[in-house]
Chains A and B, each alone.
Chain A
Amino acid sequence: DAGVTQSPTHLIKTRGQQVTLRCSPKSGHDTVSWYQQALGQGPQFIFQYYEEEERQRGNFPDRFSGHQFPNYSSELNVNALLLGDSALYLCASSFGRGQGRPQHFGDGTRLSIL
């Protein structure tokens, strides 16, 4: 039973570029959330997708956008990259939305901005 898989594992970009990160949820899960984890910090919630729509959003600018596909996989897009966007981006999946549901995390994509 495959867990949450993310690609790529590492990525190097320069300022101003755009990037797309990909996530496949754990089998049986239909909800995908994205988090940003800066070095030495706890993960910060970016947004959550359910039924192919963004359902909840954290305090991130519009440069961060996403998509969920009919097979529940998801993409995170970041435009006009800034140095401060360097971080580990984590995808998490769960079955359904709402409080109290454990989220299962992938190993993340390490994004470095030069």
Chain B
Amino acid sequence: DAGVIQSPRHEVTEMGQEVTLRCKPISGHNSLFWYRQTMMRGLELLIYFNNNVPIDDSGMPEDRFSAKMPNASFSTLKIQPSEPRDSAVYFCASRPSDRTTEAFFGQGTRLTVV
């Protein structure tokens, strides 16, 4: 398995534009997490899914952020409209149904909003 795959690796966009980040979890993993990493706030949990269903989205900072998981092999995190303070590295992670096992991280998407 290639691991968790995120795209794009880098994204530079102008303020006000829509940004869509993509994630393909490891096949067979039931849980999927989106995290945001900044120097100031560390690794923040934004939202997580189990069996494609959003379980907790209380970490999503504003209504400008939305996430979907239409099937077991794909998830998106969308920011519309984007703002400079959204600049961060966004990680997707997945793990199996056994909730006492590690989460595997993707390579991350470095987002810069100018």
Chain B binds chain A? no
* A residues lining the B interface (CB < 8 Å): none
